[in-house]
Structure 1
Amino acid sequence: MPSEKIEFKTADGVTLRGWFIKPANADSASKLPAVVMCHGFSALKEMDLDAFANHFTEQLSLSCLVFDNRGFGDSDVAPGMPRQEIIPSVQTSDLSDAITYAQSRADVDADKIAIWGSSYSGGHVLWVGAVDRRVKAVLCQVPCVDGWENFHRLIRPDFIAGLNKSFQEDRVARAAGKPAGTLPVVDQDPLKPSALPTTDSYEFFTAWGNKSNWKNEVTIKRFECFSETL
């Protein structure tokens, strides 16, 4: 499907980048509904978001706005803030700003906006759909809706005390002006520290890591937020 590289500013001035994908037979003068799409935990738009967008635009008379979350892939981050950091309240705010950008386009019907999310962003779209009245439809798959429960399913009980210690040490280090601490997203050895210590996660992310600019890293603060999200 025809795609256009796009960028837009968030409420706090950060530039986010992505693609705007239209149906092949779209009339340049027409205003189509739009689906705003963002990926899940640490993932990039190249990780098959275009496949979903292409399917939607092939089957339906609508366009798709696909973007990288701030600090990941092609998107920027606020000055002085680390990349590879996932803060739920920031990502949901950025999703609303993506809706605003979509509505500003001359080829979008501003009254017909849907949002799509998967896994971590699947939880985001449920929240944004509930509070942002501009959203007319929500598409959500395998959403993360209980970070506390997911954290305790993923992490062995004997690892939790060490992670809590890391959270506290990272807060103190940041306050002293040191760089944000990080953890791998995945590791081949499930007994080593990582955010997603499962074999299927390792296989998925490492496969994409070889054909995109995905980085096997998230900040410790991001992982702490995950463990607290309800």
Structure 2
Amino acid sequence: MLYLVAIIFFPVLSVPKQSMLNVKQPDKEDIKPPKYRKDVSFEVGNTALSAWLYLPEKLSTPVACIVMSHGFGGTKDMILESYALRFVEAGMAVLTFDYRYFGESEGEPRQLFMISYQLEDYKAAIEYARNLKEIDSDKIALWGTSASGGYGVVIAAQDKKIACIVGQCPALDSQEDGKLALKREGIGFFLGLFVHAQRDMGRSRFGLSPHKIPIVGRPGTLAMIRAPGAFDGYSKFVSASFVNEVCAR
């Protein structure tokens, strides 16, 4: 019991933040969105998800649409737009979105990562795109990296109307990923994550603020991802809405 009390209530497990925003980000008011892009939203249950819809300038018939999403902890304003604009210039539509609890989408607690919820959000984004008059509902493609690349494979296996998927280094086998991480990081790393997860889950049961740890960190620090090069890699794509922390549960 004393162990649980210490884990849940006392700040002995506080984790230093690892901020990536070393350069001042421009204010949203100073950023001019591309002419192809407009802000849209759709709901999952009672939660509104923020999205960007990109459409070609001249539309005579419904076009194919690529639904794009990010990997672990990513937001729609992290480099996805560079790809979206190229697809739009080629005559296709693109829909990017933030998962619930992340970026500009609604949901509390903030920065809560749940695979089942993100799959629901992805499916809702697909349905939203299919119901747009500008979109050919038989030509929906999925494009994702890492976690979202894996989501695309799962969803396409269930939804036979998906025209194609593009999965860049998709997360397909969590067991094998875990074995590789265990070999690289050692058992102590996973025991540490377990303790922090217990703290977060315990605090949630008492209605307390979530306990968070960094999404990505430098080797040797406490973070969900701390492989060599990961921190510097993420830093290249960091955006104003990206928060480098996630609920430890």
How many pairs align?
212
More displaced stretch, 65-74 vs 144-153: 144-153
The residue number in structure 2 matching 1:21 is 54
TM-score by length of 2: 0.79
- 1:129-140 map, 5 Å: 129-140=156-167
- 1:1-230 map, 5 Å: 2-10=36-44, 12-24=45-57, 26-27=58-59, 29-59=60-90, 61-77=91-107, 81-154=108-181, 155-188=185-218, 190-209=219-238, 211-221=239-249
The higher radius of gyration belongs to: 2
Judged with a 3 Å threshold, the aligned counterparts in structure 2 of structure 1 residues 31 and 95 are, in CA distance, closer, same or farther, namely same
Displacement of 1:144 in angstroms is: 0.8
Q: Distance in 1 between matches of 2:217 and 2:166?
A: 30
Q: In percent, how many aligned pairs have the same letter?
A: 29
Displacement of 1:152 in angstroms is: 4.1
Displacement of 1:51 in angstroms is: 1.3
* Structure 1: stretches of 5+ with no match in the other structure: 222-230
Q: Secondary structure at the match of 2:229?
A: helix
Q: Distance in 2 between matches of 1:43 and 1:203?
A: 15
Q: Secondary structure at the match of 1:191?
A: coil
Higher relative contact order (CA 8 A, sep 6+): 2
Q: Distance in 2 between matches of 1:171 and 1:45?
A: 28
TM-score by length of 1: 0.85
Aligned partners of 1:119 and 1:144 also within 8 Å: yes
Deviations 1:80-118 (A, max 9, x none): x31111111111111110011111111111122111111
* Letter aligned with residue 130 of structure 1: A
Displacement of 1:185 in angstroms is: 1.2
Q: Secondary structure at the match of 1:92?
A: helix
* Letter aligned with residue 72 of structure 1: F
Displacement of 1:47 in angstroms is: 1.3
